[in-house]
Chains A and B, each alone.
Chain A
Amino acid sequence: ETGVTQSPTHLIKTRGQQVTLRCSSQSGHNTVSWYQQALGQGPQFIFQYYREEENGRGNFPPRFSGLQFPNYSSELNVNALELDDSALYLCASSHGTGLRDTQYFGPGTRLTVL
């Protein structure tokens, strides 16, 4: 069984640019959640996708957007990058959206905005 994978591993962008991060969910999982982890902090929920539809969103501005594809892989897009967007971006997949559906995390993408 393949785990959650994310690409790229690292990324450097400049302020104002746009970025796309990718996530492949674990086999059999139909739900993907994205989190932002700033240095020294715990992960913060950005949004969740269930069967290609957004299923909940955290306190992030609209320039953070996402997609989920028919194979349940997902993208996170961030427009008009700001310095504070520098963080580790984590993707997690699960069998469903229930409380007891364990979220399995990928290794993350480290984004640096200069």
Chain B
Amino acid sequence: DQQVKQNSPSLSVQEGRISILNCDYTNSMFDYFLWYKKYPAEGPTFLISISSIKDKNEDGRFTVFLNKSAKHLSLHIVPSQPGDSAVYFCAASAQKGAQKLVFGQGTRLTINP
């Protein structure tokens, strides 16, 4: 049972344009959401998070949007840069869950010059 889904395995975006990565979840107990970025041969790196009491969180070029009614979150990267090329994972956690992160399958983002 995949509780967190990233339906796009890959995404290709022109440098300077906006990258939008999407994530859907099914468990209504999730109340904290995160995005991690992963380069080859490295562990995932924390990018940005959002609590369920918010619908938007910004950090520089990165913005995460949360739509609780649709059980959907998205990560916007503006403007996209070549160094953003990586695999992006969304993850979710519930207050009662010992900080257990439930990850999606990942989306490979490629930024073209």
Contacts and interface: CB of A to CB of B under 8 A. Distances in A.
Binding site of A, secondary structure by majority: helix, strand, loop or mixed?
A: loop
Contact of A99 (B36, B93, B102): B93
Size band of the B side of the interface? 20 to 34
Interface string A88-114: 001010100111111111111000000
Interface of A: 4, 31, 33, 35, 40-45, 48, 55-56, 58, 90, 92, 94, 97-108
A105 B38 CA distance: 10
Given A42-B104, A99-B32, A100-B49, 5 more contacts: A33-B101, A41-B105, A100-B32, A105-B43, A107-B41
A43 B44 contact: yes
B23 to A, nearest CB: 10
Contacts of A58: 100
A55 B44 contact: no
